[in-house]
A and B are shown apart, each in its own frame.
Chain A
Amino acid sequence: MTSYLTSRVLQAIITIIGISIVVFALSRLSGDAAALLIPPDASERDRLALREQLGLDKPIIVQYALFLKGALSFDFGNSFRFGKPALDVYMERFPATLQLAFVASLISAGVGVLIGVYSAVKSGGLTDRAANLVALMGQAIPSFAISILMIVILAVEFRLLPTSGMGDWTSFIMPAIALSWYSLASLTRMTRSSMHDVLDTEYVRLARLKGLPERTVIWKHAFRNAMLPILTLFSLQLVFFISGSVIVESIFAWPGVGQLSIQAIQARDYPLVQAIVFLSSVLLVALNLGVDVLYGFIDPRIRLS
Chain B
Amino acid sequence: MTQLSLDAGTPVSISSRIRTLLKRWPVGSIAILIVLLVLGVFAPFLEPHNPDTPQIMKAHRPPVFLGGTWDYVLGTDDLGRDNLSRLISGARISLLVGFAVVLGAGSIGTVLALLAGYFGGIVDIIISRMTEVFVAVPFLLVAIAVVGAVGASTTNLVLTLIFMTWAGYARVLRAEVLRLRELEFVKLAKVAGCSNMRILFHHILPNIVNPLVILATLQLGATIVIEASLNFLGLGVPAPQATWGGMLAAGKNYIGFQDSLVIIPAIAIFLVVLSINLLGDWLRLRLDPRFRQL
Contact = CB atoms under 8 A, between A and B. Distances in A.
Interface of A: 11, 14-15, 18-19, 22, 26-27, 29-30, 123-124, 128, 132, 136, 139-145, 148-149, 151-152, 156-157, 190, 193-194, 196-197, 200, 228-229, 232, 239, 242-244, 246-247, 250-251, 261-262, 265-266, 268, 273, 276-277, 280-281, 284-285, 288, 295, 299, 301-302
Given A26-B145, A29-B146, A302-B2, A152 B259 contact: yes
Interface of B: 1-2, 4-5, 10, 13-15, 17-18, 129-130, 132-134, 136-142, 144-146, 148-151, 221, 225, 228-229, 232-235, 245, 248, 251-252, 255-256, 259, 262-263, 265-266, 269-270, 273-274, 277-278, 292-293
A198 B255 CA distance: 47
B138 A242 contact: yes
Contacts of B256: 152, 156-157
Contacts of B228: 142, 144-145
A19 B145 CA distance: 13
A19 B137 contact: yes
Contacts of A268: 148
B2 A284 contact: no
Contact of A18 (B133, B221, B229, B245): B133
A227 to B, nearest CB: 10
B283 to A, nearest CB: 15
Nearest to B273: A140
A284 B137 contact: yes
Given A149-B263, A197-B13, A243 B148 contact: no
Contacts of B232: 144, 247
A144 B248 contact: yes
B255 A148 contact: yes
The 9 closest A-B pairs by CB, nearest first: A18-B133, A243-B140, A140-B274, A265-B148, A229-B5, A242-B138, A156-B256, A30-B149, A145-B266
B144 A239 contact: no
A243 B10 CA distance: 34
Contact of B4 (A132, A139, A228): A228
Nearest to B276: A140
A229 B2 CA distance: 9
